[in-house]
Amino acid sequence: MAQSGLKTTGRIILTLGGGYWATSASFVLFAFLMIACGLPRVEATTLSMMLAFLLYPCLILWVFGARRIGNPFVVFCALIVAGHIAPFFFSQGH
C-alpha cells in the first residue's frame, strides 16, 4: 500500500459520499441546463442520467489518481452547491 491508512480512508469516503453527491448534483444541474436549452424534460433527464453514469467513474478515478485530495474536494463542493441552487434559478422551466 502506497498510502497511509488515514489518507486512504479519506479517499474512499470522498468517492463514495462526495463523489456520489457531486454526481447527483451535476445530474440535476445538467438536466436543468438542457431543459433551459429547450430539450423536453424526459429527454433532458434521460440524457443527463446516462452522462452521470460516465461522470461518476471519472470522479472516482480522479480522487484516487490525484496526488492530493484537496482539488477533488473543492470541485465536489462546488458541484454540490451548484446542483442545489440550480432548481431555484430554473424553477420556471418545470
C-alpha cell read off for 83: 446542483
Considering beta carbons, is residue 43 or 78 the nearer one to another protein?
43
The answer to the question of residue 27 lying near another protein (CB under 8 A) is: yes
Amino acid type, 57: P
Could you say which of 13, 49, 81, 85 contacts another protein (CB under 8 A)? 49
The upper half-sphere exposure of residue 89, i.e. CA atoms within 13 Å in the direction of its Cβ, equals: 14
Using alpha carbons, select from 53, 71, 51, 52 the residue that is nearest to residue 11: 71
Query: Under the rule (CB under 8 A), what is the footprint of another protein?
Result: 1-3, 23-25, 27-28, 31-32, 39-47, 49-50, 52-54, 56-57, 60-61, 64-65, 67, 87
